[in-house]
Amino acid sequence: MKKSLLVAVCGVFLLTVGCKTAQNAQQKSEHTMSQKGENLEGTWELAAITTPETSGKSLTELYPNKIPMLVFETKENKVYGNDGCNNLSGVYDAKSDNGIKIGDKLASTLMFCNGVADRAFMDGLNSVTKFDIQGDELLFISGDIVVMKFVKQNK
């Protein structure tokens, strides 16, 4: 009788500890993503882009009128900005593993801007699967390739 009671108490204890540990791990993961996602907040200006269309060209060649930028409002998962020609606005989906989906959720004006690589910017956004923030730099990554690099603006 004492053995069965001891086994039952040990079982309940292990079950409680195991559930608590899993709950703490989930909360820690959500907290980390929340912090990472909150770091997106603010204005980011394009500093580099790597797509087939942009190879070997400087940003001023690609975007002679204005450099593309994005503004993230993380509380509502909103993003807006410009692609060097057209204004953009919409929402983005951020995931707990630094995953992000952004390009397919944006509306855009449809101005014609001769000599601007606006399509390359949108193609780059559409290819992004995750992001990383390193100091004042925001990296948009597709697979293991950094497709876009943005620099945080103090506005």
**Dihedral over alpha carbons 122, 126, 128, 133 (to 10 degrees):** 40
Q: Domains of the chain, with CATH numbers?
A: 39-153 (2.40.128.270)
Interval 96-113: pLDDT, tens? 888 999 878 899 999 988
Interval 53-63: pLDDT, tens? 898 899 999 99
User: What is the pLDDT at residue 31?
Assistant: 34
User: What is the pLDDT at residue 8?
Assistant: 55
User: What is the pLDDT at residue 103?
Assistant: 78
User: Measured between alpha carbons, how far is residue 46 from residues 101, 107, 116, 144 in Å?
Assistant: 18, 19, 14, 19
Interval 66-91: pLDDT, tens? 999 999 999 999 999 999 999 999 99
For the CA atoms of the chain, what is the radius of gyration? Answer: 22
User: What is the pLDDT at residue 6?
Assistant: 52
On the question of pLDDT at 15 being above 90, the answer is: no
Between CA 154 and CA 71 the distance in angstroms is 12
On the question of pLDDT at 25 being above 50, the answer is: no
